[in-house]
Amino acid sequence: MQTLLGAIGTAKNFDVWIPLKDRWMLDWSLTSPYGFVDRLPGSFEKVQTILQEVDVVWVGRGTGRLAALYEVEHSTPIYSGLLRLNDIRLIHPEIDRLGIVSNEPRRSAFIRQLNRPTFQASNLVSVCTFLSILMSSIGTRIC
């Protein structure tokens, strides 16, 4: 999923950040290889350690503005991805495209967790979406 989200970001003319520890696992059979930014913008130093762990970050090309953050949740709890996105959003409320990417059976966990008081109070519900992964014998796609 990181490979595909990065390819979509590149196609939309964004620079792409994928954590260094994950780059070796990208599947180049899904898309043409694309480049990554080596560092995240410096204006996010308060959340740099959290931001570096986000699965896919789209950065406005030449602007240093974070355009979108995506957490891919297959085996880890939905809550951990939401918490990471929420921590960043609390410090940088201008970031308004956040997403959790997972399979459809986990949508109910996303909704349940997003409705927790802490995420309601921060208004994460207004900017965080669920992107469903449809998996079949002919391939994977993001909906």
Domain ranges (residues) in the chain: 2-142
72-104 per-position pLDDT tens digit: 998 889 999 999 999 999 999 999 899 999 999
Query: Would the pTM of this model clear 0.85, i.e. be above it?
Result: yes
Residue 135 makes CB contacts below 8 A (sequence gap 6+) with 103
Q: Alpha-carbon distance 104 to 125, whole Å?
A: 18
Least confident window among 48-62, 87-101, 127-141: 127-141
